[in-house]
Amino acid sequence: MKPEYKKKTIRSYVIRGGRMTDGQKNAFDQWWPVYGLSLFDGEISPAEIFEREAPLVVEVGFGMGDSLHEMAAADPDKDFIGIEVHPPGVGRLISLAGASGLSNLRVFMADAVDVMSDCIPESSVDRFQLFFPDPWHKKKHNKRRIVQPAFLQQVRRILKADARFHMATDWENYAEYAMDVLLSAPGYDNTSGESCFAERPAYRPKTKFEARGERLGHGVWDIVFSKVNEC
């Protein structure tokens, strides 16, 4: 399977050509009909998809899916939708979900901007997660960073009142940049106080990569803002 997306000039990611394992390939055959959602089916109804009313968490860029799987398994009273463009990570996540028998997880293999625009209903999301996005650290590539004013307003559209936007990054420059953009974004409020970073919430698992970075003295910055109504 290939990721779904519309044509646009600037993307926040590059499709990597990593090879899928046999297990990941088999996961698409066995589990995609259970967990997969299509961009081209249009706006979803979370209550119909999950067959219940429950708080909804949306995560963009879940990588290989380990932390999203862990969160969904640890919090069965919430429903989770993951959005990722890289097939190996999608294959691994749905394989893990199938083996665990998770019923509170669904996946788009598509461009996140397209999914938010066409598929996620307005004011339907209780928490939006963006963990360790590509920092595009070279100045000439900063325009590719996913955290931009227009993106934040797309996120805000799908958030419920008082819902949370949660970003984590291990690049201090990106953390400072994202903080500045969020502080300037209409309709957002920093839950930790002006210009302050948040403590890692208990629901966000600490990845092996993060733990290794901490041992080497690398930092991780969490940013948690809430949606507020504009006057």
Among the listed residues 14, 7, 49, 44, the one whose alpha carbon sits nearest the alpha carbon of residue 144: 14
If DSSP codes are grouped into helix, strand and coil, which group holds residue 51? Answer: coil
Alpha helices in the chain (DSSP H): 22-35, 46-50, 66-74, 87-100, 112-118, 149-158, 172-184, 208-215
C-alpha to C-alpha distance for 184 and 186, rounded to whole angstroms: 6
C-alpha to C-alpha distance for 54 and 229, rounded to whole angstroms: 23
Under 8 Å between Cβ of 121 and 48: no
User: Which amino acid appears at position 35 of this protein?
Assistant: Y
Query: Does residue 41 carry a catalytic annotation?
Result: no
Given 134, 170, 189, 222, the catalytic residue: 134
- Could you list the active site residues? 134
